[in-house]
A and B are shown apart, each in its own frame.
Chain A
């Protein structure tokens, strides 16, 4: 596992992707994932700095579909809780 604990990862505003509510947006910031998985997600559109929106989900709210970089990708909660996002306003600043 590669843990990218860059300073600022623990800013009060950062949140796990899994914790966003349906319809909420965030800016992708960091992955606490192995290099291979992170690379795979990036090729699918989960590139840090891009905006991600929470869309529909399967029954019971898991897995959820995320709108990112012009596409929609379904992820399970166990994965999306390892992805850190920043609030849209902060990242824009």
Chain B
């Protein structure tokens, strides 16, 4: 390792100041861990313009205080621009990507425990002719499992600096600083294969490895041992079931109390605010509009983060890939493949990251189908709506012991309802507009690894920021708008009776359309505002009933029992199970499908399904429940 201070003045003067450096590597090479290690919290996520591929950019602080921009490119096996990920990588490296400067240099990350295969990408990257640093990652695993490599010989053959590093422990990463402050030089490899020919690349990789005395370490036995359990004929599916149930159980048993605690704090602070702030319009706006409106949404943060944490652990440990193998057969029945399982499981937390996670599905039609059915999965934003209505209308009788009562059954029923509609829609799509000829499932199984705390935390921070940002913009805006609409037109400085407010006029306009479902205009306003986000209906109803003198002293559940018939309540549950009420989802579908066609179709379809189903539910319940 040569820090800048050890360079001679001449060398320092000629040292090329890299401004933009791209990080390239195959999937499972530890590229992201390395990127996180180098940039830490100084990174941001964005989309490449015009395409749906996401990228992270970060800042690497040099020893001298200089800053270098690092671009984390998608994991690729080759640079033949066939998949979208590869096209993006090639475009960025060639400087053809709008808004992204052509990188001055490349950091190529390879898994040192599997060089024969990973060096194939090295041939292709080196052929680009940009100054390149080759990092042979997972040095600790290489040594622990009896592998060996001559780094100097490798560097000579590739004509680039080569370093053996461990992104997890940070070992050897001084090489990055060293590379950044060295003079820029194009690689001078001794020989390169025809990079378009995978077979020749593989032969070249073996030759280079052999000359560098590369000895591949033994595959860790415990990965095979774990696989013989997780992919066991009988135990595999059993463990799979336990894991899926465990994910939900964690969210309810751990997340719910956390949410309740947060709710308590928010309620207390609202009381405190109304005491401290002078009585009047400003107090009403801040407490009822801003604080209660956004607070109603913020309480879900613990549950959402918990779900991301659990899924993050499953993904980083390597289990989710096995789960995809187990789920593949079942997914094939609806015309999808195992890769859709991971996004669909995450959709139970939130459809937005789930839809972003569909990027791993290479088949475009399968990917679109997965995007279109993901919002049917019962996301965490539906939970509070379900909880509130069920608690208000369904008496709790034990069905199977004390833990499973009628309310739990109703909740489970709604989960099943969403799932069945997803299955039905998938079948519908895959047998018509999104039929694909050759359904393939090719998936590399990464070895099992301990998830690292830092990558989990960075991921949670990412989600947390996105969620709070949404609460602070969209939901805050709607809360304020709603407060204004309920408090105007004012008469002599006094807010109007709720029936005379602007919001009532809007609600009463749409009332005829929702009468057949058993909803009145207040629920109608809730349906409108919840297009922003499902949970907003709670804060909306809270505001509407709160300003109504007849109901402002009652809690929301009691009011609901007065305002809504049981049939209307069931219809409302069914409506929420199917409707696409989430602006964030609409926005992310637009971004991921690169146009308005799919999100508009999806919104129309889901709303129609919701309306018709709610109508049927209303009629049926009215027949039996009088």
Contact = CB atoms under 8 A, between A and B. Distances in A.
Interface of A: 36-37, 39-45, 47-48, 50, 55-60, 62-63, 65, 67, 69-76, 78-79
Most A CB within 10 A of own CB, among B328, B440, B442: B442
A47 B202 contact: yes
Given A70-B114, A74-B325, A63 B338 contact: yes
A58 B120 contact: no
A44 B116 contact: no
Given A42-B199, A42-B202, A57-B231, A73 B443 contact: yes
A78 B443 CA distance: 14
B445 A59 contact: no
A70 B219 CA distance: 7
A37 B440 contact: yes
Contacts of B327: 58
B442 A74 contact: yes
Interface stretch (B76-84, B286-294, B457-465, B472-480): B76-84
B326 interface: yes
Provide the main secondary structure of the chain B interface: helix
Contacts of B602: none
B195 to A, nearest CB: 11
Interface in B81-137: 82, 113-114, 116-117, 120
B243 interface: no
B227 interface: yes
Interface string B50-83: 0000000000000000000000000001101010
Given A62-B329, A74-B328, 6 more contacts: A56-B236, A60-B329, A63-B338, A71-B444, A74-B444, A75-B442
Contact of B116 (A41, A43, A69, A79): A69
Contacts of A63: 325, 328-329, 338, 441
Interface string B136-169: 0000000000000000000000000000000000
B237 interface: yes
Contacts of B198: 39, 42-43, 47
B562 interface: no
A13 B199 CA distance: 23
A72 B445 contact: yes
Most A CB within 10 A of own CB, among B199, B224, B231, B338: B231
A48 B198 CA distance: 10
Contact of A43 (B120, B224, B325, B439): B120
Interface string B401-439: 000000000000000000000000000000000000011
Contacts of B120: 43
A73 B444 contact: yes
Contacts of B441: 63, 74-76, 79
Contact of B445 (A50, A62, A73): A73
A45 B117 contact: yes
Contact of B227 (A45, A47, A56): A56
A72 to B, nearest CB: 4
Contact of A56 (B228, B237, B332, B439): B228
Nearest to B233: A59
